Amino acid sequence: MRAVNNFLVVEKEVVGPKQVGGLILTENLDSDNRYIRATVISVGNLVEGLKEGDIVYYDKHNGNGVDWKGKIYQVIQSRDVVLVE
Domain membership flag for residue 1:
no
Q: Report pLDDT for 25.
A: 65
DSSP 8-class letter at 62: S
The answer as to whether 2 is a domain residue is no
Closest-CA residue to 50 (of 80, 82, 12, 78): 78
CATH number of the domain that 44 lies in?
2.30.33.40
pTM: 0.80
Q: How much is the pLDDT for 34?
A: 85
Highest mean pLDDT among 10-14, 21-25, 73-77: 73-77
Residue 58 pLDDT class (50, 70, 90 cuts): very high
Domain range for 48: 7-84
Comparing C-alpha atoms, which of 84, 70, 13, 6 is closest to residue 42? 6
pLDDT value at 15 more than 60: yes
State how far the Cα of 47 lies from the Cα of 55, in Å rounded to an integer: 15
Task: Say how many domains are in the chain.
Answer: 1
Domain membership of residue 64 (yes or no) is: yes
Q: Is residue 80 part of a domain?
A: yes
- The answer to whether 59 and 35 are in contact (CB under 8 A) is yes
